[in-house]
Amino acid sequence: MTTRKSGLQAVLVLLVGAGGIGCELLKDLILLGYGEVHVVDLDTIDLSNLNRQFLFRQKDIKKPKASTAVNAVESFNFQKTKLIPYQSSIYDTDLFPLSWFKQFDIIFNALDNIAARSYINKIGLFLNKRIMESGTTGTQGQAQPTFPNKTECYDCVHRETPKTFPVCTIRSTPSQPIHCIHWAKSFLFNSLFAEDEISSIDENSENQNLGTDNKDEIKNLINENNELNDLKKSILNENFTNKVIEKIFQKDIEKLLLITSLWKSRTPPIPLNVSQIDLSKAGDLGTGQNQWTIEQNLKVFIQSTKNLQQRVKSGEKEIEFDKDDEDTLEFVASAANLRSFIFGIPLKSKFDIKSIAGNIIPAIATTNAIIAGFSALLSIKLFNNDIGTQIEESKSVYTSQGNSKFVSPSWLTDPNPNCASCSIPRGIINIDNEKTFQDLITALVDKYGYEDEEISISLGSKLLYDPDFDDNKERKLLELGIKYGEHLSISDETDVKKTIDFYVELNQDGEINLPDLEIPNKPKVEEQKDENKEDEDEDDDFELLDDNNDDVLIIEPVEPVEKRKIDSKSSDEHLDKKQKI
Amino acid sequence: MTQVNKEEKYDRQLRLWANSGQSSLESAKILIIQPTSTTSELLKNLILPGIGHFTIIDYDSKINDVDLSNNFYLGDDDLGKSKIDVLASNLQELNHDVSYSIQKIDPSQGSIEDFINAQNDLYWSQFDLVISNYQLESLITKLNDLKIPIMIINSIGFYGFLRIFKSTFEIYETHPQSLIDLRILSTWDELQNYSDSIDLHSLDIEQHSQIPYLIIQLKAVENWRLNHDNQLPTTSQEKKQFKELIRSWKKDHYQLNFDEAIDNSHKIFNNVKIPSNVKDIFSHIDEYYNDFNKRSVFWILVKALKEFVDLNDGFLPLSGELPDMDSTTENYIKLQNIYLKKAQEDLAKLKDILIKLRLKLGKESLPISDEILKNFAKNSKFLYFSQNSNKLIPLNFNKIFDESHNSLILLSFFIIERFQKDTKKFPTLQNIDELIKISHDFVTSDDDSLHLILHELVRSEGQELNNIASLMGGIGSQEAIKIITKQYIPLDNTLIYDGINSVTERWKLD
């Protein structure tokens, strides 16, 4: 016999992430008595999770987080919340098509990266779902409810985009430890162990940020790639390690020195003469927090290369860099340090390099408990009264050390009218992707009244069509990669209408169904932006921290530390995962 | 577990409080008096990061149905078992590096209060922190004499209360946002000579784009002084002009180092040699350094720091830290060495002073490692000190109630505690008038909202809500870690959480 459930018992929840915040939040949600919670997390449990993810034990290492967490809470599931775990990527559109998200009354984000938060944010916008966002960094954190199109969404706040380095800085003229770490991880390690073929350098491409137009330098870069490709083929040979050392720390450097124009105003590097390094002096390596000597670095490099070589021999095809994989970490740390030594750059400890190369954000149980607590308690307000009252009564909170509060609450603010996500109209487009691109263009122009096909169409970040680029017109939509769950954005090239964003769903009836949308005109562009920036500079109190994790931002365009409001930084609760896309 | 494993397991937190903080944590012993949902959550958050040892004192009782629905560390299988045994062992399951002991009190033999009052100093001295959910005056007085911190943490219904009794906070590892101190306005010989060796305007564009921004700033300050009667820019108009001056030196629009010089120019003119927190600490030297009982390592260091300042033109030791900047490695390392050398010289001077001080103190001195001295010197601008009277009923109660509405929640916790002490039971709605009467023992004024809050608290029948307990446990554990590691700025000393409005407020009760 079932009776009609009431209150939170009737609410269906999606919890994205079963990590530091996720474990706490799952406990909080079932103790609040939510009716049904679906938990999605792709990851398995690591040793370094155990200092805060209290639902996991040492015996659980390598098990999936989602199901382990669900099993662990059953013993205190007093109100019989229905729990459904998924060990999957939230981006998996086969498992989680847009329609799947429709069932939920609220989504809790307990994520560790910006990309996934932004993805969920868009789902929320498409389906008008409320999201409870949360994040912590060390002792700081925040929780914030968002009401699509009614309050500030996740993308309304500008997040600093990660710094990238020109290829030449990484490959030819490094000047900071970070350059060498980037080189060791993204170039050397990937070239030798992770990729099939080293991506080639196209000297004529405008897309690649080479950062140089020095012909000799570019030529040298191309040669280096080719030689490394050849070297990679001999990975099973006995003398592979020696060859690698000789090439990258000696011969490549000698070749660089020949490009004299590079060294006019720079200190030239000194090739490593391996025969003069006495490995017997390496001695005990100590803990990871010591800085290794050059002998120790070389010893570690040799050992880790041999270990990796052995793993390839035993059948591992692709080894990915993972900061918790000692061989890969030691390879990258020692290679980066040897290169730093060559270029007269200060060396770093393995502990520090791990942090930089692995995008590590400190994370502790205490902050996660506080922020998950707020996230759960703030959500209660979302199931009383009408939506207007809910918004009025809702708050976001962020930790704060600077005033009489412990955390600072603030009322929810209006959406940013220039937000790239929520200020634009969006809808679901239902198409048969056997139709041609021309069919789609015609349908769009007919439906929304664009002038003379003066539009541009992008699939994600890939441009498919604009008035100067019509090569694709006769191709089938399928051939262009237009599949279920993809995003298509349509911009008005006459600059009148706002850009619109479509979520693609498919039919097999030869139809192109476009949603009814009022496309508003673009607002007048704001000027004076620079002036505003100047004013902020003036005020010392508003200065944001020089975070020591800034280094982290540089390597991978994954998880920059978000800088929000004064005195608050929120971001990724623990960044020990690969980006799940 | 081996050391390597621990480094991996605790990796994410070592990046916050380093080995020094971790070893403080691992050697710490804490006592929990009569665990509640809130203090169980708190304990969980201390066991996970690896607290050394915890002791629990509680009445010996068997687990019943109510316990099961209240505390998620107890499972269905545990029905009828000893509550304290099961709770402690289930909590310890979270981390086998942690050890524990339990103290069962047989109610027929006396109360927990009797047990507490019967313990001698030696018993209490084993603990680094004592945690309880009510303010027992005799215990507070005793621990205050022994300089052992005590944390009172409680939640009732939607409200939470946290108060820390600790006679002084003396912290140098405060983890400020940045230790960078460039001293553009007061250069020393090496820095000045290096700057003078660079003729900015004669450099070719490539070299010009690789001059560290602080050299550009230095030269801009010189130039400005030369043209402005040796004065610095003060008004915001002048500061804008100063930026314009730097901008006018650009040889190319895209020179990042000049942009950095402009973006960071507001930091130049903050010319405070000794910030107010350090001045305040200096004003307490006589009281703390000269009193043998109060003279901790912190005060010996502070005394040395004061002498250093007196001998060094009013400057604190230089931290030596440089920000990242656009520059050649060569230029950057030169600068880094100049700052590092100055910081090392300052440290050496401070060490000399300290050695003399400790000689003077002779046997009364305390051991201070070079590591501690170095850390102290680096953080000397950001020291944190505060003292607390630790009176159960603070003298500034009235003032607080005049100023803040949320303080009524604080008052309500005091009232209910008093009622429980007098009657040995939790108040019901029939007792509201008595509760209001009790309020006059604490404050003179009346406030209608007090009725509402008391009503809300009483309505809960003294029960903890799991989610409020979880949040308060998070806050309490965060503060416990600060106390134990002696790092970060602590909550000093009282906090109220209002779960109905999602508001926290804190006060210094004195």
Domain residue extents for chain A: 8-161+362-411, 175-344, 426-513
Angle at alpha carbon of residue B59, lines to B56 and B60, rounded to 5°? 100
A-B contacts (CB, under 8 Å):
189
A367 contacts in chain B (CB < 8 Å): 474, 478
Rounded Cα–Cα distance for residues B132 and B139 (Å): 10
β-sheet bridge partners, residue B82 = B62
Parallel, antiparallel, or unpaired: how do β-strands A462-465 and A426-431 relate? Answer: unpaired
The answer to whether the Cβ–Cβ distance between B467 and A32 falls below 8 Å is yes
DSSP state, A560?
A: P
How many CB atoms are closer than 10 A to CB B305? 25
Give the model confidence (pLDDT) of A235-265 as tens digits.
888 889 999 999 999 999 999 999 988 887 7
Coil, helix or strand at residue A486: coil
Please say which residue of B444, B459, B474 terminates a domain: B459
The answer to whether the Cβ–Cβ distance between B481 and A366 falls below 8 Å is yes
DSSP state, B263?
A: H
Coil, helix or strand at residue B438: helix
**Annotated binding residue at A113?**
yes
The two three-digit tokens of residue B392, written as one number: 């159960």
**Annotated binding residue at A69?**
no
Rounded Cα–Cα distance for residues B65 and B71 (Å): 10
Coil, helix or strand at residue B4: helix
Kindly identify which residue of chain A lies nearest to residue B406, measuring between CA atoms. Answer: A405
The architecture that CATH gives domain A426-513 is: Roll (3.10)
Same domain, B449 and B501: no
**Annotated binding residue at A514?**
no
The verdict on A535 touching B (C-beta cutoff 8 Å) is: no
The answer to whether the Cβ–Cβ distance between A404 and B505 falls below 8 Å is yes
The two three-digit tokens of residue B241, written as one number: 């002009």
The two three-digit tokens of residue B43, written as one number: 């304990």
Same domain, B445 and B482: no
Same domain, B15 and B151: yes
Indicate the residue of B12, B204, B478 with minimum beta-carbon distance to A363: B12
The answer to whether the Cβ–Cβ distance between B471 and A355 falls below 8 Å is no
The verdict on A388 touching B (C-beta cutoff 8 Å) is: no
**Annotated binding residue at A52?**
yes
pLDDT of residue A438: 92
Same domain, B356 and B283: yes
Closest CA to B305 of B349, B337, B338: B349
pLDDT of residue A195: 67
pLDDT of residue A525: 58
The CATH number of residue B493's host domain is: 3.40.50.720
Coil, helix or strand at residue B57: strand
Taking CA atoms, A249 is separated from A253, A334, A347, B151, in Å, by: 6, 12, 15, 57
Rounded Cα–Cα distance for residues A442 and A438 (Å): 6
Indicate the residue of A175, A372, A406 with minimum beta-carbon distance to B475: A406
pLDDT of residue A555: 28
Same domain, B331 and B224: no
% residues pLDDT > 90 (chain A): 49
β-sheet bridge partners, residue A256 = none
DSSP state, A192?
A: I
Backbone torsions φ then ψ of A265, nearest 5 degrees: -115, 20
User: Among residues A168, A336, A382, A575, which one is catalytic?
Assistant: A168
**Annotated binding residue at A385?**
no
Give the model confidence (pLDDT) of A521-577 as tens digits.
887 655 444 444 444 333 333 222 223 322 222 222 223 333 333 232 333 333 333
Kindly identify which residue of chain A lies nearest to residue B43, measuring between CA atoms. Answer: A366
Whether cis (ω within 30° of 0) applies to the bond prior to B144 is no
**Helix locations, B151-212, DSSP H:** 189-196, 205-208
- Tell me the Cα Rg of chain B: 28
Give the model confidence (pLDDT) of B489-501 as tens digits.
999 999 999 999 8
Rounded Cα–Cα distance for residues A58 and B1 (Å): 11
Rounded Cα–Cα distance for residues A526 and A326 (Å): 51
The verdict on A57 touching B (C-beta cutoff 8 Å) is: yes
| ipTM associated with this complex | 0.92
Same domain, B471 and B484: yes
Angle at alpha carbon of residue A319, lines to A317 and A321, rounded to 5°? 165
Contact (CB, 8 A) for A538 and A343 = no
The verdict on A79 touching B (C-beta cutoff 8 Å) is: no
Q: Is residue B389 part of a domain?
A: no
Domain count for chain B, please give it: 4
The answer to whether the Cβ–Cβ distance between B502 and A374 falls below 8 Å is yes
A51 contacts in chain B (CB < 8 Å): 9-13, 48-50
Kindly identify which residue of chain A lies nearest to residue B49, measuring between CA atoms. Answer: A51
The verdict on A54 touching B (C-beta cutoff 8 Å) is: yes
Same domain, B88 and B134: yes
Coil, helix or strand at residue A144: strand
Same domain, B139 and B35: yes
Q: Which of A8, A366, A400 to mutate to test the interface with B (most CBs of B within 10 A)?
A: A366
Same domain, B255 and B356: no
pLDDT of residue A576: 31
What is the Cα A121 distance to its own chain's centre?
Answer: 14
What type of residue is B425? K
Host domain of residue B345: 276-379
What string of H, E and C letters represents the secondary structure of B5-39? HHHHHCHHHHHHHHHHHHHHHHCCEEEEECCCHHH
Contact (CB, 8 A) for A169 and A256 = no
The answer to whether the Cβ–Cβ distance between B12 and A574 falls below 8 Å is yes
Same domain, B81 and B101: yes
Q: Is residue B370 part of a domain?
A: yes
pLDDT of residue A215: 80
Q: Is residue B132 part of a domain?
A: yes
Indicate the residue of B240, B263, B504 with minimum beta-carbon distance to A406: B504
Give the model confidence (pLDDT) of B52-76 as tens digits.
999 999 999 898 887 777 677 777 7
Taking CA atoms, A102 is separated from A4, A132, A266, A390, in Å, by: 21, 16, 59, 21
Show which of residues 272-301 on chain A sit within 8 Å of chain B, judged by CB atoms. Answer: 287-289
Q: Which of A73, A340, A364, A540 to mutate to test the interface with B (most CBs of B within 10 A)?
A: A364
A78 contacts in chain B (CB < 8 Å): 68-69
Q: Give B48 to chain A, closest Cα distance, Å.
A: 5
The two three-digit tokens of residue B268, written as one number: 């130049």
Q: Helices B236-248 and B256-263, interaxial angle, to 10°?
A: 170
Q: Give A531 to chain B, closest Cα distance, Å.
A: 11
Q: In which residue ranges of chain B is pLDDT below 50?
A: 1-4
pLDDT of residue A64: 97
A23 is catalytic: no
Q: Cα torsion at B459, B462, B465, B466 (round to 10°)? A: -170
β-sheet bridge partners, residue A118 = none
Q: Is residue B428 part of a domain?
A: yes
Q: Which of B40, B329, B331, B498 to mutate to test the interface with A (most CBs of A within 10 A)?
A: B329
pLDDT of residue A527: 46
Indicate the residue of B7, B466, B468 with minimum beta-carbon distance to A288: B7
Q: In which residue ranges of chain A is pLDDT below 50?
A: 1-3, 205-207, 527-581
Residue count of chain B: 510
Parallel, antiparallel, or unpaired: how do β-strands A82-86 and A36-40 relate? Answer: parallel
Closest CA to A425 of A512, A484, A485, A490: A490
Q: Is residue B185 part of a domain?
A: no
The answer to whether the Cβ–Cβ distance between A31 and B50 falls below 8 Å is no
Contact (CB, 8 A) for A437 and A464 = yes
A75 contacts in chain B (CB < 8 Å): 72, 75-76
Q: Which of B7, B26, B40, B45 to mutate to test the interface with A (most CBs of A within 10 A)?
A: B45
Rounded Cα–Cα distance for residues B126 and B29 (Å): 7
Indicate the residue of A28, A363, A534 with minimum beta-carbon distance to B467: A28
Show which of residues 392-411 on chain A sit within 8 Å of chain B, judged by CB atoms. Answer: 395, 397, 401, 404-407, 409
Question: Which CATH superfamily is A8-161+362-411 part of?
Answer: NAD(P)-binding Rossmann-like Domain (3.40.50.720)
A288 contacts in chain B (CB < 8 Å): 7
Q: Give A74 to chain B, closest Cα distance, Å.
A: 10
The answer to whether the Cβ–Cβ distance between B471 and A369 falls below 8 Å is yes
Q: Is residue B477 part of a domain?
A: yes
Q: Which CATH code for domain A175-344? A: 1.10.10.520
Rounded Cα–Cα distance for residues A462 and A446 (Å): 24
B236 contacts in chain A (CB < 8 Å): 538
Contacts by residues A239-246 (CB-CB < 8 Å, ≥ 24 positions apart): A240/A305, A240/A309, A241/A302, A241/A305, A241/A306, A241/A309, A244/A192, A244/A305, A245/A272, A245/A274, A245/A298, A245/A301, A245/A302, A246/A274
The answer to whether the Cβ–Cβ distance between A406 and B495 falls below 8 Å is yes
Rounded Cα–Cα distance for residues B11 and B484 (Å): 19
Contact (CB, 8 A) for B37 and B70 = yes
Residues A194, A196, A202, A207, CA torsion sign: negative
Same domain, B405 and B346: no
What is the Cα A473 distance to its own chain's centre?
Answer: 33
Indicate the residue of A372, A405, A546 with minimum beta-carbon distance to B504: A405
Same domain, B432 and B490: no
